[in-house]
């Protein structure tokens, strides 16, 4: 196995291929079938024809919360919070975008009529995130305050302000457990009609939960990728899903992960033996996969940890060739873009 560096995962992407809005219909996105040679250009609603009765689709059922909040310091300086996770007693952990960080104890006036008191850094005094307590005259908890006052936390490469379209489409149709600040984007292509067709064909379905954090967009800054520190994300593999995976394998069905977050969840469980907890798993070429046979995924940013994950799964040369094909054929990239189907490299 060669030693990969950050530069190995770079590629030139024409900026006009970065999708700024979703396709008119969820399942009308394009699907690059990378399980074939040569790869086949399809429409996403063709996915059921590429699977078999007895296969198990595993989705991430996390729900995106309106985690972007705006406010100001007592001095009048503007700031932005991106809530990463909720703690107890109306406390949250958040990223803070501000010209000068306020001292501990500062009370921030937030848009929507509530206050956020800065309690310190997180998870320790050297942490990059901030711990705050939300206080509202109405007694609303942080989830209610985000629902009322927050904005959809669109990725940094989407250039428009969030809208009603984003509130509806930057969310899967089966989103259930609130807590993510980024959508599991491969699952955005599924609509109710497609799910019904998959069920009619005998394709099984199960769910895991991984609350996608803002760290998913953080760039890798070291050329030696082994030096990169992954962000922590909470996950859970329910007992019903663990049982469904065992049954699918027993009958010869394939485990089809919908999205890299599902891969990270299943492989975190396999590696740690723990069905729930925080994961910092970093999947790079050379990784041995325990559960996933097929992967449905969108196209990822150059030099990202997700490029490394899909290269580990399907093979580096294969993935780079598929990306070159996608660029030639003008596929749409990133969160609102098109998808591809990958098979695990033998």
pLDDT of residue 139: 93
Q: Is the peptide bond before 123 cis (omega within 30 degrees of 0)?
A: yes
d(CA 109, CA 76) in angstroms, rounded, equals 9
pLDDT of residue 136: 95
Same domain? For 131 and 25 the reply is no
> Residue 215: pLDDT band by 50, 70, 90 thresholds?
confident
Which residue is listed with tokens 């598929």? 322
- We report the CATH number of the domain holding residue 195 as 3.40.1780.10
What is the reported pLDDT for 112? 96
49 & 140 share domain = no
- C-alpha distances out from residue 16 to 215, 219, 319, 330, Å: 25, 21, 21, 9
The per-residue pLDDT for 250 is 97
| pLDDT at position 308 over 80 | yes
pLDDT value of residue 14: 98
Please tell me whether residues 179 and 324 are part of one structural domain. Answer: yes
Mean pLDDT of 221-242: 95
The pLDDT value given to residue 128: 86
Same domain, yes or no: 174 and 276: yes
Would you say residue 184 has pLDDT above 80?
A: yes
For residue 240, what are the β-bridge partners?
none
**Residue-range definition of the domain harbouring residue 319:** 6-64+165-343
Q: Binning pLDDT at 50, 70 and 90, where does residue 217 land? A: confident
Q: 47-103: per-residue pLDDT in tens?
A: 999 999 999 999 999 999 999 999 999 999 999 999 999 999 999 999 999 999 999
DSSP 166-230: HHHHSS-TT--EEEESS--GGGGG--HHHHHHHHHTT-EEEEEEE---GGGGPPP--SSGGGPPP
Whether the per-residue pLDDT at 141 is higher than 90: the answer is: yes
User: Can you give the pLDDT at residue 182?
Assistant: 94
Q: How many domains, in total, are found in the chain?
A: 2
pLDDT, the chain, mean: 96
R_g (Cα) of the chain, nearest Å: 20
Residues 119 and 65: their CA atoms lie apart, in Å, by 22
**Nearby residues of 324 by Cβ (< 8 Å), 6 or more positions away:** 11
Q: What is the pLDDT of residue 2?
A: 84
Q: What is the DSSP string of 66-124?
A: --EEEEE-TT--EEEEEEEEE-STTEEEEEEEESSPPPTTPEEEETTTEEEEEEEEESS
Q: What is the pLDDT of residue 198?
A: 98
- Across the range 215-224, mean pLDDT stands at 88
Would you state the pLDDT for residue 75? Answer: 94
Same domain? 169 vs 291? yes
Token pair of 191 as six digits:
């609509």
Q: Are residues 103 and 242 in the same domain?
A: no
**Is residue 346 over pLDDT 90?**
no
Lowest-pLDDT range, 2-6, 103-107, 113-117, 257-261?
2-6
């Amino acid at each position: 196995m060669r030693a990969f560096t950050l530069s190995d995962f770079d590629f030139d992407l024409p900026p006009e291929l970065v999708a700024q809005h979703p396709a008119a219909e969820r399942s009308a996105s394009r699907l690059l079938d990378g399980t074939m040679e040569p790869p086949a250009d399809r429409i996403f609603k063709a996915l059921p024809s590429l699977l078999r009765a007895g296969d198990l689709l595993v989705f991430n059922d996390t729900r995106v919360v309106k985690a972007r909040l705006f406010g100001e310091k007592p001095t009048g300086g503007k700031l932005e919070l991106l809530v990463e996770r909720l703690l107890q007693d109306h406390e949250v952990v958040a990223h803070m975008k501000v010209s000068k960080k306020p001292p501990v104890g500062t009370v921030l006036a937030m848009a929507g009529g509530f206050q956020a008191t800065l309690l310190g850094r997180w998870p320790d005094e050297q942490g990059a995130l901030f711990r705050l307590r939300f206080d509202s005259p109405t007694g609303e908890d942080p989830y209610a305050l985000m629902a009322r006052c927050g904005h959809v936390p669109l990725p940094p490469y989407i250039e428009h302000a969030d809208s009603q379209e984003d509130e509806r489409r930057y969310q899967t149709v089966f989103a259930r457990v609130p807590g993510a600040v980024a959508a599991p984007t491969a699952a955005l292509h599924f609509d109710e009609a497609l799910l019904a067709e998959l069920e009619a064909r005998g394709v099984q379905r199960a769910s895991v939960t991984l609350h996608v954090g803002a760290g998913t967009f953080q760039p890798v800054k070291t050329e030696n990728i082994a030096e990169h520190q992954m962000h922590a994300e909470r996950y859970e593999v329910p007992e019903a899903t663990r049982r469904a995976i065992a049954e699918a394998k027993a009958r010869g069905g394939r485990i089809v992960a919908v999205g890299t977050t599902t891969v990270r969840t299943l492989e975190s469980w396999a590696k740690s033996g723990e069905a729930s907890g925080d994961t910092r798993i970093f999947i790079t070429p050379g990784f041995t996969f325990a559960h996933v046979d097929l992967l449905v995924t969108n196209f990822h940013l150059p030099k990202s940890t997700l490029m490394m994950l899909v290269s580990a799964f399907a093979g580096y040369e294969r993935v780079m060739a598929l990306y070159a094909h996608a660029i030639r054929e003008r596929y749409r990239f990133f969160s609102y873009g098109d998808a591809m189907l990958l098979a695990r490299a033998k």
